Chain A
């Protein structure tokens, strides 16, 4: 009976603890769109899925590196000073630490393939790119700066929508930014949007859908209402690519889909078409 009573629950073969230390986290990744497993380095500098071309979510400062030759940040010090809502201050601080940003958008004047543009990049790592009052403030100031300096605006959108913690002030940003877009438009200047994964809610229902030219990154999720909300309202399952940029292209809401490595060139070409001749 000893044979059966032998307690083997503590294995004699010990796993070397150092194994965990030798294999770093995030060495292998799955593409959030097509699910293909790949070695981290396969993504390359642009962090694009080798199988389907999906662009992994980037932090704003990473995108600056990939996209621009020079970048002079504007309004770096603009940040929410009175986060009153319960738990908001902690969330905000964590977002700031993680992204090295004061708000969910990075703005400035950049050179992209020799073209000077007013550039805004929203960061989905900062509270899901939600539209806080200071996010709206920075984008509004970017448009104002562009209007008075006669620059085109290039804006990369990424947002889960309104920032719940700020309530009505968040909703009012949609109108505030739109007013600045209107003035920029009336000055005859180009506004170009690049929809990146994910662009939803109040951002889709305002400045993401007000540009002269709207580009999108492959497979980016773009929509107004959340897929779960739609499914529970109409009681049916949505098709697979329902809110992907490819569907928006088919339905006529996007001008073109541009792979991430080609974006700088495409933006520069489009900006050149709209060059304002100095008088």
Chain B
């Protein structure tokens, strides 16, 4: 069902290089998005195992009248905040917090919305020792077993497995100026050509723009952006409401089957 509130996509087409640049600017902040779309947000902390990763914000909120579980990767606001959140690179206990909240949502039959903006999972010493790979692997596996609807929204960068961990959902949407890729263009160029300076060239080749990914059916919808943030949030709210109504009309088994089939197609 189309929701149109007068926002238009692509007034002028940006090159992949420009979109990469824009996706890394703080155009939208995690808390601004959460408070803009939902009401009564209550934040919940910790993974009950090893700590609380503040780069992953999680909690319960209302989408119009319906309770939903919200999980968002946050890059932080000022420099100290950004440093402590490693510019939005979650630690394993961030993903495990997300898993805990997903399981909670499943128990109480609440739909899940995730917001993603990360260069990737944090490549740190503690992260590795605490099983970064295992944390992502289990997030993906758990997402495949959920019987509640789940929609992932990419609002900045979405790099690699660290983004996929929260994007194995029924639908994936992207903001108009966001990217989703296997690796950063810098990393891609460095692996393939041993030269990270060729990142612009890599960006053009990687097919990481919303338009490319919609064509490949990696994502389902592009969210038009506007300087008028409340308009963007209102569009997302209406669309989420619509899509959750449709997804809720499926039985849990149908829903799970459909989600698995979505990824089986690749």
Take A164-B182, A167-B181, A208-B137 as given contacts and tell me if A140 and B161 are in contact as well, using a CB distance cutoff of 8 Å. no
- Whether A171 pairs with B160 at a CB distance below 8 angstroms is yes
Spell out A's residues near B (CB within 8 Å): 85-86, 133, 136, 140, 162, 164-165, 167-176, 178-183, 186, 201-202, 204-210, 223-226, 229-230, 233-234, 236, 238, 242-243, 247, 251-253
Which B residues are CB-close (under 8 A) to A165?
A: 192
Q: Judging by beta carbons under 8 Å apart, are B161 and A182 in contact?
A: no
**Binary per-residue interface labels of chain B (247-266) against chain A in the complex, 1 for a CB within 8 Å, 0 otherwise:** 00000000000011001101
Main secondary structure of the interface of B (DSSP, over half): helix
When distances are taken between beta carbons in the complex, the residues of chain B under 8 Å from A252 are 131
A182 adjacent to B145 (CB under 8 Å) = yes
Q: List, in ascending order, chain A residues with CB within 8 A of B263's CB.
A: 172, 175-176, 178-179
Tell yes or no: B222 within 8 A of A by CB. no
**CA of A223 to CA of B161, assembled, Å:** 13
- With A175-B168, A229-B123: A169-B266 Cβ-Cβ less than 8 Å: yes
- Decide: A182 and B164 in contact? CB cutoff 8 A: no
Interface flag for B44 (CB, 8 Å): no
Q: How far is the CB of A171 from chain B (nearest CB, A)?
A: 5
Nearest A residue to B95, CB-CB:
A205
Find chain B residues with CB under 8 A from A175 CB. Answer: 140, 144, 164, 168, 263, 266
Closest partner residue, chain B, to A163 (CB atom):
B182
| A167, B182: Cβ atoms closer than 8 Å | yes
Q: How far is the CA of A206 from the CA of B264 in the complex (A)?
A: 15
CA distance A183 to B145 in the complex (A): 9
Total interface residues in chain B, CB < 8 Å: 44
**Smallest CB-CB A-B distances: 9 pairs:** A225-B123, A204-B133, A224-B133, A209-B137, A172-B266, A179-B260, A205-B136, A205-B161, A209-B134
Q: How far is the CA of A236 from the CA of B125 in the complex (A)?
A: 9
Q: Is B178 an interface residue (CB 8 A)?
A: no
Number of A-B residue pairs having CB atoms within 8 Å of each other in the complex = 137
User: Which residues on B sit within 8 Å (CB–CB) of A162?
Assistant: 160, 182-183
Query: In the complex, which residue of chain A has the Cβ closest to the Cβ of B121?
Result: A224
Does B175 belong to the interface (CB within 8 Å)?
Answer: no
A244 to chain B, nearest CB (A): 12
How far apart are the CA atoms of A204 and B123 in the complex, in Å?
14
Query: What are 27 A-B interface contacts by the 8 Å CB criterion?
Result: A133-B266, A162-B183, A164-B183, A164-B191, A167-B208, A168-B180, A168-B207, A168-B213, A176-B263, A178-B137, A179-B263, A180-B264, A182-B145, A205-B133, A206-B140, A207-B137, A208-B133, A223-B128, A224-B128, A224-B132, A225-B121, A225-B123, A229-B123, A233-B123, A238-B125, A242-B128, A251-B130
